[in-house]
Amino acid sequence: MGRDPGGAATGDGFFRRLPTEVVVRTRPGRELRGFAEYAKGNPWSPKAMTDDELIEKAKTYLDGILPDAQIKALATAIFALEQA
């Protein structure tokens, strides 16, 4: 592995970085690995989520609570805040 297993604490109880590794072993014995320094959407990540990715994430959490049209309207309103 050789990666730093710890996160960089901010001093306020939050972690700026929480490295995660996933290993999947198939029945035939093959290993599939994935590693990320930051969770997708982490505000400290050097790679920001696109607007489309943010809208999809909102749909994931709001599906069944708000209709699609309201989710899109909410996203439009939130993105407009940057211009205010």
For residue 18, which phi and psi values (nearest 5 degrees)?
A: -135, 80
pTM surpassing 0.75? Answer: no
Instruction: List, in order, residues 6 or more apart from 5 with CB less than 8 Å away.
Output: 19
Q: Are 7 and 19 in contact (CB under 8 A)?
A: yes
pLDDT bracket for residue 62 (50, 70, 90)? very high
Q: What average pLDDT is seen over the chain?
A: 84
Q: What is the DSSP letter of 48?
A: P
**Res. 43: pLDDT tops 60:** yes
pLDDT bracket for residue 3 (50, 70, 90)? very low
Question: Any alpha helices (H) in the chain, and if so which ranges?
Answer: 51-62, 68-81
